[in-house]
Structure 1
Amino acid sequence: MTDRPSWRLLAALYPFGAGAAAVNLFFASLITQALGWRALTPYEALVWGLPLGIPASWYFGRHIVRLIKEAERR
């Protein structure tokens, strides 16, 4: 068994990963206003968060699989 998460797990985690990426991008863009940059609109943050949710879901899925393996060893 590998540390690769199943597609079902990734599909379940993706909405949370995409949402977290969008929220983090939006708040990070608010902080960058101190540098003179413009803030992203919530819609722009959502559009950028959708593709960034894929790697976020992948890494968290790998973490979940490792936790499951560790629990099964005990």
Structure 2
Amino acid sequence: MKQPWGKARLTLVLYPFGAGAAAVNVFFASLITSWIGWPVLSPLQSIVLGLVLGVPLTYAFARHIHKLMQN
């Protein structure tokens, strides 16, 4: 029987949350690194970076959830 919630489908469903979380974390990380003199990223730069980083991060999380669903 085919698994109704495969890794690809889970990744697509969870991607908006993963990309949003990555964008928020990138922005806050840039605020913390400003203490050592690095520039603070703009919200738009953080969103773009979050969209890029969201793909592998969400896929890793979807693999984890898929493994939990198998048990």
TM-score normalised by length of structure 1: 0.84
Spell out the pairing of 1:54-73 with structure 2 (5 A cutoff): 54-70=55-71
Q: Which residue of structure 2 lines up, in the alignment, with residue 41 of structure 1?
A: 42
1:26 paired to 2:24:
no
Aligned residues: CA RMSD: 1.4
Give the paired residue count.
67
Superposition deviation, residue 38 in structure 1: 1.0
Q: Residues of 2 paired with 1:44 and 1:37: CA distance?
A: 14
Identity %: 54
Q: Residues of 2 paired with 1:12 and 1:45: CA distance?
A: 21
TM-score normalised by length of structure 2: 0.87
Q: 4+ runs of 1 displaced by more than 4 Å?
A: none
